[in-house]
Amino acid sequence: MELIDTFFNAEVLRRSFPMLVKGLWVTIKLGLVSIIAGLALGLALALLRLYGKRPVQFVTSVYIDIFRSLPLLVLLIIIYYALPFVGIRMSGFWSAMCALTMVSGAYSAEIFRAGIQAIPKGQFEASQALGLNYRQMMFDVVLPQAVKIVIPPLTNNSINVIKDTALASVVAIPDLLKQATQAQALAANPSPLIGAAIIYILFLWPLVAAVSRMERHFGAGEH
């Protein structure tokens, strides 16, 4: 019973539930904004790395390698705490969004690049033979085919972005983890942290299962 009262205290969970729900909403909002911005950035980076001029390809490649190597927490601290010294100040939410977007964009760029390169060269040659310009070739022929390849890894990357929003608590964003930590302090009981963990699982488990189904579906379609 001591274990139950300490980590699964029903009364503490009931009192902290409204705070956890508010935190979940902030987590979802931060995650969605970062995912959308990261996908847009990733697609742009992938196209620049594949088809930009050589100096642009080099700069893009360096960006992708750096932000895939840089820990997200370090980047978040730099943006929130260091940039104000050079006159750039952002709220905790936008600091976290920028950090998540920059890192997510680097990973998404590699996913998009791999998907585009997986398209047979004949598709590019056929597009040129039909007289399609670059935009028509990419958006009407290449990208629709690449989407089938990149959806599972992009969805998996999006799940990682949602999980990484927990790091935003270090800049005082009232996300799910921050609210759970505050509720724990108020109640002097760790049950709110267990409640937050359960909410993360209930929220992300269906997404993880969806990724597995998509991978099996698309994998079966290749045979």
- Which pLDDT tens digit goes with each residue over 149-174? 888 889 889 999 999 999 988 888 88
**Alpha carbon distance 185, 190 (integer Å):** 8
Residue 71 pLDDT grade (very low, low, confident, very high; cuts 50, 70, 90) = very high
- At 223 the pLDDT is 45
Condensed to tens digits (0 to 9), the pLDDT of residues 107-147 reads: 999 999 999 888 888 888 888 888 888 788 888 888 888 88
CA atoms within 13 A on the CB side of 75: 19
Q: Tell me the pLDDT band of 1, cut-offs 50, 70 and 90.
A: low
Average pLDDT over residues 197-221: 81
CA-closest candidate to residue 175, choices 162, 186, 187, 191? 162
Cβ contacts of 219 within 8 Å, gap of 6 or more: none
Percent of the chain at pLDDT > 90 equals: 60
Which pTM does this prediction carry? 0.86
Do 68 and 104 contact (CB within 8 A), yes or no?
A: no
Instruction: Tell me which CATH code domain 2-221 carries.
Output: 1.10.3720.10
Cα–Cα distance measured from residue 42 to residue 102, given in angstroms and rounded to the nearest whole number: 9
